[in-house]
Copies of this chain bind each other. A is one copy, B any other.
Amino acid sequence: MSDDDTTQIRTLITTWADAVHRGDLDGVLADHAEDIVMFDVPPPHDGIRGLPAYRATWPPFFEWQAKGASFEIESLDITAGADVAYAHALLRCGTPEELAERPTLRLRLTLGLLKEGGRWVVAHEHHSFPHD
Within the complex, which residue of B82, B123, B124 is in contact with A81, where a contact is CB–CB below 8 Å?
B82
Cβ–Cβ contact B114 & A79, under 8 A: yes
Copies of this subunit: 2
Residues of B within 8 A of A106 (CB): 45-46
Tell me the bound Cα distance from A108 to B112 in angstroms: 14
Tell me the bound Cα distance from A43 to B46 in angstroms: 22
Cβ–Cβ contact B41 & A88, under 8 A: no
Interface residue count on the A side (C-beta < 8 Å): 37
Q: Can you report 25 residue pairs joining A to B where beta carbons are below 8 Å apart?
A: A1-B83, A37-B77, A39-B108, A41-B130, A42-B131, A42-B132, A43-B130, A44-B104, A45-B129, A46-B104, A46-B106, A47-B90, A47-B108, A79-B114, A79-B123, A79-B124, A81-B81, A81-B83, A86-B86, A86-B124, A108-B126, A110-B124, A110-B126, A126-B126, A128-B129
